[in-house]
Each structure stands twice: as structure tokens, then as C-alpha cells.
Structure 1
Amino acid sequence: MPTHIKTLIVVPENNSTMEPEISALCPALAPLAVARVKRPPRTLLLEDLPAYAGATLDAVAPFTSERWDLLIYGCTAAGFLGGPGSNAVMVESLRERTGAPVVSTAGAVVDVLREGKVAETAVVTPYLQPVNDGLRAYLEASGIRVETLNSFFCKTTAELGSVTEEEVLDLARRTVTKQSKSLFLACSQLPTLNAIAQLRRELDIPVWSSIQATAWASARAMISNGFEVRTT
């Protein structure tokens, strides 16, 4: 059974969290090649998506001469803003250009919540309201109701990059209610590697982050393609 998995991860140029956390969660994917997508220094808006889609394909172009076992499209906000249809178009475009199976973070979040039979969730994000609205619409279009949502409302990528794991834990604890059936920590920049296990113990409900969902979906995709993959 093949064990070496050649993986390309596509993330916004400011993202400093997803590569190390995916590598920790799925060691079989490491070391990851990284394609960084140029983006505005502020939170993405709906009107940014055409340019961002073009920048995504430009970022991947230098890697298309190589053969990849897996491509991870880790641009969470872009996936939520554009909706399931737009995310599917980007996934297909990346698949066509690289010939690799593609896992998207936005798609992985829905898949892992559905797998756990989650129909309603509390949500923590770093986003401004337009992306929060897009996230809510994306989940609800997929049959998952947002029970309650709190955000750091980061205005810039610098603000986003300064959020700590302890701050994520604090906002998560203040977001869940006695009625919460699940908790989702959105954004592949938020540090959540150690927070997930702690929150699962404290809350005794399913807790997932964008990165944890992506690692889960990546492992499942690779196992279905004959690879041996263990996750931590």
C-alpha cells in the first residue's frame, strides 16, 4: 500500500496556521508544498471573489507541471462567500489544472458535520459581517442551521494573524449555550490544534474547526485512493 502522499495546499498568502496544523494532524501529508494566493490586506468581500479566483489559479500555475496525489483548497472565507456552487466550480478548476483529487475546506466542514449527523451548530469566526452572512448561508444551504455565532470581527489580515489560541478558547466558551449541539471554529488561520480536544472535553459536544475538518476529509480522500493515512 503506498504511503508517501505528495500534497499541495492552497492558502491565502497571509495564512501561517494551516500548513503546520495539517502536518501535525496528518503526518502522512507532510511536508506540504504551499501555493500562496495574493489577496487584499482586509477581510474578503463578495466583490473580491472574481479577482481572488484568478489569483488562486495563478498561484497554482507554477505547480501544474508536477504530479500531485492531493490538493487542499484551504481558502475558507472565499468558499463561504461564493456559496456551494462557486466553491464547486473552483474545486473543479483546480482538479482540471492539476489532475489531483481536491479537498476544499468549505466542503470538508459540511461533510464532517453531516457525517456526525449535526443539523445545528454554534459558530466562532474571525470574520466581518459579510463573510459571517456568507458562512451562515453556506451552512444553511447544506442543511446545517447556525444556532448562534460570535466573531472577532478582524478588519485586516494583521488582526487575524494576532488572534491566539487562548482567545479562541475564550470566545468559544462564551458562544456555546446550554442548547448547543455542536461547535464549529471557522477560518483556517485561527489556531485551534490544541483547543479542539480541550473544548470537546469541557463541552461534551462535537467540536470541529476548519483545519480539523480539512484534515479529516483529506485522510478520507486518500484512504479511498489506496493510501495508508493516520490522523492525530
Structure 2
Amino acid sequence: MDLFSLPRLGVVVPPENPTAEPEFNHLLGTAMNVYTSRFPVTPGVGLRAMLETYNEVLPALLGSFGALRLDAVVVACSASHYLLGPEGDRAFCDELSERAGCPVRSSTQAILTACEGLGVTRLTLVSPYQPWLTDTSRAFWERAGLTVDQVVLVPARPGTAGPDAGGAAHFDPYVVTTGTILRHIRERELPADTALLFTGTGMGTLAALAELVRQEPRRTLLTSNLASAWWARRVAGVTDGARHPLLRRLERASVRR
């Protein structure tokens, strides 16, 4: 195998995201080479302002790949694209594709493409986000024509009551554990026909998904990174090569459609 002849995927990630690159490399295996660029650090600004800044700088940031030929680019930050709504997100990705000279998709658009390919119309949203951003995410999927059956919030630390307690729950996708994900899902009764969508590229999900596949082998499981890796292989025309079992599972399901 000529390592440097493989299709090339560019990935743009938030600066503190510890999850996207490892998951993309595990998911894609030996079939694609992954190259990354990071959004700028935005000290002293709130979450929403930070996400808006990401959208503002993204067109110029794609230029940081220079003359490197890429076969596709994934913007691995779901939250910033939720702010745009489905139509705005799609138009933005089309504009970015023209600028970059190759297909560019946000992780949100990759999820929508996967839902269409899998025939998914109902979701249960598993979210590590603050409640306002979770609500924005839910509105995005509903405006895209999907039914959100319920939302499973996954805080990094639960809220506690009382004068000496910590108060509100703490939300941080980057430190959510596999055990926390599984515990919150097991506390819910899920409709049989709802797909589980784990939103956000920063919450590590591969171990949790592997456990859920063993428990419910027929349920559709989607994540921002899994759907993006599926889209990248598809758009780059990759049909073989070693890849993660979760990606093989998703590809088999889409072929059956």
C-alpha cells in the first residue's frame, strides 16, 4: 500500500477538542489520510460568541491547508452550525466547497445525509451540551424534517441541591465518560424505532456505541464523527480498506436501503 496515494480528508476542529482526530483515525483506519486544522482560541468570550466566531473565520481557515490537495473536508464542530439552521448550514457548506475546490460538509450536514441514506426519520438526541444549546440542536433537526422523540441530557457532572451543594449540572462534552453516557441512556425507555443521535464531535462515544450495539443490535446509532467519516468515505469513492466495525455497520445498513 502506498500510504501517500490514499484519499485525503481535511478536518477542522475546535482548539480544545481532544476527541475528533482520534475518532476519525480509528473510524477510517487505513483507507484515508486525515489532516487537521484548528479554530482559533477565543479567550474571555462566552460559548455563543465563540461559536459565532468559528463561523466567521471558517472560510479563511480553510486556506490554512494551503496547496494541500484534499478530497473532502469535514467541519467537525456541530454546535456552530446549529446556529445557522439547516438551510443556512447547507448554503454555507456549498459556499465553502466552491472556495475549497472539494466537497466540504459540516458534521450536521453529514448527519442529515446519513439519515437520508438510512431512512431515519425519528431521533432520540443524546446531548452533552448546555440546555440552551441542546434546545438549539433539537430545533435544527426538527426544522430539517426529523422527529425528535426525546432528549437525553448528558452532563459531565450532575447538579446537586442544598445550601452546601454544587448547584446546577456542569456541561462539558470533552470530559463526559463512557459510563456517564450509558447510565443516562439506560435510565430512559426508548421507542423501538428511534435512532440514537449522539451530538457533538467532542464527546467520546466509540466505547459506548460498541456496548449499545451488543445490547440492541438492530437500533441505528449515529454520532457527529461517525456520520462524518461515513460521508467522507462515500464522497471520496472509498469502498474498501480496513475501518472501524461501527463504520462497517453503518455502511452495510445504508447499502440495504
Which residue does the alignment assign to 1:182?
Answer: 195
Percent identical pairs in the alignment equals: 25
Structure 2 partner of 1:12: 14
5+ residue gaps in structure 2? Answer: 157-167, 245-257
Q: Take 1:200 and 1:173, find their aligned partners in 2: how far apart are those partners?
A: 13
Pair 1:217 & 2:220 matched: no
**Alignment of 1:90 onto 2:104:** no
1:167 counterpart residue number? 180
1:98 shift after superposition: 2.0
1:207 is the counterpart of 2:224 = no
- Amino acid in the other structure paired with 2:236: M
Greater Cα offset, 209-218 or 80-89: 80-89
Alpha-carbon contact 2:19-2:204 (below 8 Å) kept: yes
Q: Distance in 2 between matches of 1:176 and 1:93?
A: 41
**Cα distance change on mapping 1:53 and 1:59 into 2, 3 Å:** same
Distance 1:114 1:94 in 2: 22
Secondary structure, in 3 states, of the residue corresponding to 1:92? Answer: helix
User: 1:44 is matched by which residue type in structure 2?
Assistant: L
TM-score w.r.t. the length of structure 2 is 0.77
Contact 1:9–1:34, Cα closer than 8 Å, also in 2:
yes
- Provide the secondary structure at the position in 2 that maps to 1:194: helix
Structure 1 pair 190/94, CA: closer, same or farther in 2 (3 Å)? Answer: same
Question: Do 2:7 and 2:32's aligned partners in 1 also have CA atoms closer than 8 Å?
Answer: yes
Higher Rg of the two aligned structures: 2
CA 1:229 to 1:35, structure 2 compared with 1: closer, same or farther past 3 Å? farther
* CA distance in 1 between partners of 2:195 and 2:72 (Å): 29
Give the corresponding residue for 1:73.
75
Give 5+ residue unaligned stretches, structure 1.
none
Per mean C-alpha deviation after superposition, the further-off stretch among 179-188 and 8-17 is 179-188
Partner residue of 1:129? Answer: 131
CA RMSD of the aligned region, Å?
2.6
Matched residue pairs, number? 225
**Aligned 1:7-46 pairs, distance under 5 A:** 7-27=9-29, 28-30=31-33, 32-38=34-40, 40=42, 44-45=47-48
